[in-house]
Structures are given as C-alpha cells and as structure tokens.
C-alpha cells in the first residue's frame, strides 16, 4: 500500500514537471546556473590551491651563517630544525656550494667576477634553506632561531648567524596567506548567494504550480486525500528540478574542462582541469547532485509549507 502511494505521488510529480514545461524550464535554468557556479568554485578552488602550492614550494627562508661558523654546529641547528613539527625540509648548503651558486648567477657580471677573483678567501658562509609545511609557520620558525641563543651562539657567546631573510620574504608569504583565506571566504559567499537566488526562484515556481493546481487540490481535499499525498508531488517536482539541473551541469563541465585543461596547465598552475575533473568525478558528482537535490527539496518544502494550507 505504501509503495503504491509513493508510485502515485512520484508519477504525479513527474506529470506536473512536464505539464508546467515553461515554468519548469525557468527553474531548471536558474538552478543550473547556480550549480555551474558551485562546480566552478570547486574547480577554481583546486586551480588556485595548485597554483598557490606551486608558489609556496618556491617560498622559503634562508639562514646565512658567518664565514667562520663551525660546520658541526650548523648541522646541529639543521637537526633541531628538522625535528620541529612545522618544518617540512631543511637543506644544508656549504660555503663552497654557496660560492659556486653565486658565481653561476653572476656569470655575466664582469665586475662581480673580477672582484671575487681578487679575494683570497671565500666571502660567503654556509646556509640553511628552510621550507615550512604551511606559510603561516615561517614567523614561528624565524622566532625560534632568533630566541634560542644556546643553539645559534658559538661557545664564546658570539652569534654564528649572519642574518635570516624572513623579513625580505614576509610580504610574499603574507600575500599567499591572505589570498588563500580570502579565496575560501569569497567562494563560500558566492555559493551561498546564488543558492539563495535558486531557492527563491524554485520557491516561486512551486508556489505557481500550487496555484495552477488549486482546483485539483480542492478536489483531492473533498475526496479525503491526506496532506502528505497532496504535498508529495510538489516535493517530487522540486527534486526533479534539482536532478535535471545537476545532469545538465555535469554534461556541460565535460567539454568546458576539456577545453580549459591545457590552457590552465600551460599557465603554470600545475594542474590540468580536465584531468582533475575526471579524477575527482565521483566527488564532484555527489557535490553537484547533492546541491541540486538539496536546493530543490528545500525550496519545495518551504513553498508547500507556506502556500499549501492543509
């Protein structure tokens, strides 16, 4: 009996969906725009995250040591830094390697190369290049080195660190942190805004469908139909709006990501959107379909509750 009643409700909602063709089309199109925006936010978020991760991998802080700093003490500092939970990697660069890299960077600078050739000793000290797991943790690492005197001072009390270039990289690090935080907030705000618009449009569509079917509803009331039986088709109709919109959105995403994939990759973002779409299709499918059904069901529920007096 329950299954039969459900089949009748579903069939009635399906009939209403197609009978109110122009009204249904308007709701589906508006909801499709919303779902495309939600899906675009997912893809753009992945693109932005990949781009920022690529940039973040190039951001680090370097500890420059005085030329007479003992190697064993430098290696001890490296070991202590590697033990910190916020540190991803610490690379040791000897003074000879630092000099070789400096010469390679200034190979075409005749004045610099001439000045170096006139020196009897290596003017550069050893270095430690530090990469943090998160850009927000560089300040703490720099503070750790600045405040730990027993670690960074020679036995006679003189500091062995010449400088830490955190201050020079701070602007770039802070900019990355701000972009990541702002992008998340902006994406959430845009998704909520368009979801509310879709709910409002679908809400009015269901209200219009209730008005169009007012005579049928009156007849069903007279013959003793239950409130659930009368409400059901409109909820099914809202779910159909969401399902149709989700199907259209997923079909549109395929050619769009196929076209944009190589473009994004060539821009140095480190990600191919088409490959990302295929690899994460199940997740994107559930987000898009779930959002469509949720918007359709919520707007239908609100409209039925507000305008269908049973």
Q: Which domains does the chain have, with CATH numbers?
A: 2-55+175-307 (no CATH), 67-159 (3.30.70.3040)
Distance CA 307, CA 294 (A): 20
Distance CA 296, CA 299 (A): 5
Cβ atoms of 95 and 126 within 8 Å: the answer is: yes
Cα separations (Å) of 142 from 22, 38, 93, 129, 168?
63, 39, 18, 12, 12
In which band, very low, low, confident or very high, does the pLDDT at 2 lie, cut at 50, 70 and 90?
A: low
Q: What is the pLDDT of residues 168-195, one digit of tens each?
A: 666 766 776 677 677 777 767 777 777 7
Q: What are the φ and ψ backbone dihedral angles of 160, each rounded to 5 degrees? A: -100, -5
Residue 86 in tokens = 């916020």
Cβ atoms of 246 and 233 within 8 Å: the answer is: no
pLDDT surpassing 70 at residue 31: yes
In which band, very low, low, confident or very high, does the pLDDT at 308 lie, cut at 50, 70 and 90?
A: low
The reported pTM is: 0.62
CA angle 108, 114, 117 (to 5 degrees): 120
Q: What is the pLDDT of residues 258-284, one digit of tens each?
A: 887 777 666 656 677 788 888 888 988
Q: What is the pLDDT of residues 87-145, one digit of tens each?
A: 888 888 888 888 888 788 878 877 777 777 777 777 888 888 888 887 778 888 888 88
- Number of Cβ within 10 Å of residue 233's Cβ equals 25
What secondary structure does DSSP assign to 181-235, as a single string? HHHHHHHHHHHHHHHHHHHHHHHHHHHHHHHHTHHHHHHHHHTT--HHHHHHHHH
- Number of Cβ within 10 Å of residue 122's Cβ equals 14
Distance CA 167, CA 61 (A): 9
Q: Of 58-62, 75-79, 212-216, give the lowest mean pLDDT range.
A: 212-216
């Amino acid at each position: 009996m329950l299954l039969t009643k459900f089949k009748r409700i579903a069939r009635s909602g399906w009939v209403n969906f197609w009978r109110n063709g122009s009204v249904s089309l308007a709701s589906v199109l508006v909801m499709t725009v919303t779902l495309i925006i939600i899906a675009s936010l997912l893809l753009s978020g992945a693109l932005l995250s990949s781009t920022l991760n690529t940039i973040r991998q190039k951001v680090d802080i370097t500890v420059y040591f005085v030329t007479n700093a003992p190697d064993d003490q430098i290696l001890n500092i490296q070991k202590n830094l590697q033990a910190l939970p916020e540190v991803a990697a610490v690379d040791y660069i000897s003074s000879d390697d630092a000099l070789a890299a400096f010469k390679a960077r200034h190979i075409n600078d005749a004045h610099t190369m001439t000045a170096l050739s006139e020196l009897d000793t290596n003017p550069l000290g050893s270095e430690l290049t530090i990469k943090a797991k998160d850009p927000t943790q560089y300040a703490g690492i720099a503070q750790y080195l600045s405040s730990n005197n027993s670690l960074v001072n020679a036995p006679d009390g003189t500091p062995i660190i010449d400088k830490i270039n955190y201050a020079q990289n701070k602007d770039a690090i802070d900019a990355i942190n701000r972009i990541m935080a702002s992008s998340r907030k902006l994406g959430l705000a845009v998704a909520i805004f368009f979801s509310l618009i879709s709910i409002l449009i679908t809400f009015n569509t269901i209200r219009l469908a209730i008005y169009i079917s007012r005579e049928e509803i009156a007849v069903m009331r007279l013959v003793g139909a239950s409130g659930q039986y009368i409400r059901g088709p409109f909820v099914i109709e809202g779910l159909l709006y969401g399902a149709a919109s989700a199907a259209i959105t997923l079909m549109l995403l395929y050619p769009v990501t196929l076209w944009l994939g190589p473009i994004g990759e060539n821009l140095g973002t480190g990600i191919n959107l088409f490959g990302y779409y295929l690899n994460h299709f199940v997740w994107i499918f559930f987000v898009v379909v779930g959002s469509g059904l949720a918007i359709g069901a919520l707007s239908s529920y609100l409209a039925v509750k507000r305008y269908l007096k049973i």
